[in-house]
């Protein structure tokens, strides 16, 4: 079967563990849903800045998927408006659809979770002495998983034989969103509030300093 252009990616953190010297290790994993191609395994703290830096490099090197599937926990989602986080707002500005799985539903990201079990069994039992050695193990696993390990679900072929990178490339600059004339356009303050018709309205911290369009859809309902 010929390769398929990448459409949806799955992004998640495999459960953290400690290397033998006591260092906490949080592996961020990125895979292509259709081909099961493991795009990246990289150790980074599970926070916005580290994840964005790694995904920026991946987007620059590989391209932009149509959608990203993840859980709705930080840094991928939040309990705020629309379940958005700063990271998912960035995805949307890049034209990437955000697909959050329901809470406590890892089966909705089953292919990625099965890969995590294999990753843990082959690289972290027992863990390496230091995080640098652990990262080397992850790099070797990714090559083996993509290029040497046949997958039953792929007809006993390897993910690399089915993987096709996306055509969309990372833009040099992200454009501000466009809104039609029915919306009043404003910029959200650092506090997550916006001033609209004389009132301060809390929109959400994930949208801080972002440009949003506001429209009245009912006397008591504001749509952002």
Place 164 in a pLDDT band, splitting at 50, 70 and 90: very high
- Residue labelled with tokens 């640098």: 132
Considering the domain architecture, whether residues 131 and 57 belong to the same structural domain is answered as yes
Asked if 189 and 153 sit in the same domain, the reply is no
> Rounded to two decimals, what is the model's pTM?
0.85
User: Can you name the residues that pair with 8 across neighbouring β-strands?
Assistant: 67
Identify the CATH number of the domain in which residue 104 sits. 3.30.420.10
The CB-side HSE value for 148 (13 A sphere, CA atoms) comes to 5
Asked if residue 144 is part of any domain, the answer here is: yes
Specify whether 60 is located in the same domain as 135. Answer: yes
Is residue 152 one of the residues assigned to a domain?
A: yes
Q: Domain range for residue 193? A: 184-223
Q: What is the DSSP letter of 153?
A: G
Separation of CA 51 from chain center: 8
How many independent structural domains does the chain possess? 2
Same domain, yes or no, for 104 and 205? no
Q: Domain ends where: 114, 131, 164?
A: 164
- pLDDT, one tens digit per residue, over 34-82 is 999 999 999 999 999 999 999 999 999 999 999 999 998 999 999 887 8
Query: Are residues 47 and 150 both part of a single domain?
Result: yes
Q: Quick check: is 35 in a domain?
A: yes
Residues 160 and 51 in one domain: yes
Give yes or no: residues 136 and 208 share one domain.
Answer: no
Q: Parallel, antiparallel, or unpaired for β 211-218 and 184-187?
A: antiparallel
> Going along the chain, which residue ranges are E strands?
4-5, 8-13, 17-18, 24-25, 27-32, 38-43, 67-70, 97-100, 163-164, 184-187, 193-196, 199-202, 211-218, 221-223
Residue 175, in any domain of the structure = no
Q: How do residues 20-37 score in pLDDT, each as one tens digit?
A: 999 999 999 999 999 999
């Amino acid at each position: 079967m010929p390769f398929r252009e990448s459409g949806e990616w799955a992004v998640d953190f495999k459960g953290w563990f400690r290397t033998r010297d006591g260092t906490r290790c949080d592996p961020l994993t990125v895979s292509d849903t259709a081909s099961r191609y493991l795009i990246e395994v990289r150790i980074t703290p599970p926070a916005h800045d580290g994840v964005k830096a790694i995904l920026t490099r991946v987007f620059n090197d590989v391209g932009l998927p149509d959608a990203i599937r993840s859980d709705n926990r930080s840094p991928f989602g939040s309990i705020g408006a629309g379940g958005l986080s700063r990271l998912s707002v960035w995805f949307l500005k890049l034209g990437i659809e955000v697909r959050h799985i329901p809470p406590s539903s890892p089966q909705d990201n089953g292919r990625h979770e099965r890969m995590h079990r294999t990753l843990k069994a082959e690289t972290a039992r027992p863990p390496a002495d230091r995080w640098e050695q652990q990262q080397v193990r992850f790099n070797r696993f990714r090559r083996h998983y993509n290029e040497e390990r046949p997958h039953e679900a792929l007809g006993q072929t390897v993910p690399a034989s089915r993987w096709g990178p996306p055509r969309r490339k990372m833009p040099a600059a992200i454009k501000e969103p466009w809104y039609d004339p029915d919306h009043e356009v404003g910029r959200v303050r650092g506090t997550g509030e916006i001033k609209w018709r004389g009132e301060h309205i809390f929109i959400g911290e994930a949208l801080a300093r972002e440009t949003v369009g506001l429209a009245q859809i009912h006397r008591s309902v504001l749509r952002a």
